[in-house]
Amino acid sequence: MANSDVVVSRSGAAAAHARKKVNLVNLGTIDTSCTIDLAQGGLFKATSVSGTITLTLANLPVGGEATLHLMAAATAPTVTFAGVDHWLGAVSAPTFSNSKLTRIKVVNDGTHVFGEFVEEYPAT
């Protein structure tokens, strides 16, 4: 995993001019179950996700949030997320589509880790 800094602009009146520096963690190709240490950064990027795997999301600090950008392989993966207590707006984790980028956000409120499927984008 290689780390680099990314600056993310926040929207909204209170944060109109605020900028937050987020550490980008490149996960590369994920084709086997693994643990992602969320204490390492705020933005995690996998260039290819394939197979039937479990992603264990660990060490998200209380009050912390992280965003995962996961690019599905040509054949959509089946992914189980360990370490997420509840999925907002859904009963279970999101499903992936062939060759699409799935954006997922996780937040730790001190009691639970909530996961949210944010968006799915076509591959570019």
Indicate the Cα dihedral angle 30, 32, 37, 38, nearest 10°.
50
Taking the CB of residue 11, how many other CB atoms lie within 10 A of it?
A: 8
* Token pair for 16: 């109109």
Q: Is the pLDDT of residue 35 over 80?
A: yes
Across the range 53-61, mean pLDDT stands at: 96
Residue 79 has pLDDT above 90, yes or no: yes
Report the mean per-residue pLDDT for the chain.
85
pLDDT at 8: 45
What does the alpha-carbon distance between residue 49 and residue 34 come to, in Å, rounded to a whole number? 11
Annotated domain spans of the chain: 2-10+26-122
Question: What average pLDDT does range 106-116 have in this prediction?
Answer: 95
pLDDT of residue 9: 45
Is 59 within 8 Å of 35 (Cβ atoms)? no
